[in-house]
Amino acid sequence: MHGPAVVRSGQGNSPSLRGIMAMLVPLYYTILSFFLLFVLAILLILMGEVPVMEEEKTRREASVLRYKEKRQTRLFSKKIRYEVRKLNADKRPRLKGRFVKRVPAEKIHAIK
């Protein structure tokens, strides 16, 4: 059986009143909630309380404008922002321009 179970009375195959109410009450509240939402939406439109789209549109335009301003000030030239990082990077050992792990001096002599 699919759907909510219907409580049956002891006589025959007819569903009891309690079983019918168990099926109808959720349906009633669902229809009532949709109706109330519809009425609320109509009232908001009539009162002029729906400039949410306008606010969203102006917020979006401001965001796009801010993005375009930032894009114009981007620097693609090489600029050192943190001198300490540059000094530490210069101290680290490299192989073909890439950083490599430091090997202790004993291991270097052991290899030779």
pLDDT per residue, tens digit, the chain (112 aa), is 455 555 555 555 666 777 777 777 777 778 888 888 888 888 777 777 655 677 888 899 999 999 999 998 887 787 778 899 989 999 999 999 999 988 776 766 666 5
Give a yes or no: residue 51 inside a domain: yes
Give a yes or no: residue 6 inside a domain: no
Of 32, 28, 29, 16, which is closest to residue 5 (Cα–Cα)? 16
Give a yes or no: residue 68 inside a domain: yes
Domains: count for the chain? 1
What distance in Å separates the CA atoms of residue 70 and residue 63, rounded to the nearest whole number?
11
Give a yes or no: residue 21 inside a domain: yes
What distance in Å separates the CA atoms of residue 81 and residue 75, rounded to the nearest whole number?
12
Say what the pLDDT of residue 65 is.
Answer: 95
Give a yes or no: residue 3 inside a domain: no
Say what the pLDDT of residue 52 is.
Answer: 63
Domain that holds residue 92: 17-111
Say what the pLDDT of residue 31 is.
Answer: 84
What distance in Å separates the CA atoms of residue 15 and residue 3, rounded to the nearest whole number?
14
Give a yes or no: residue 4 inside a domain: no
Give a yes or no: residue 7 inside a domain: no
Give a yes or no: residue 2 inside a domain: no
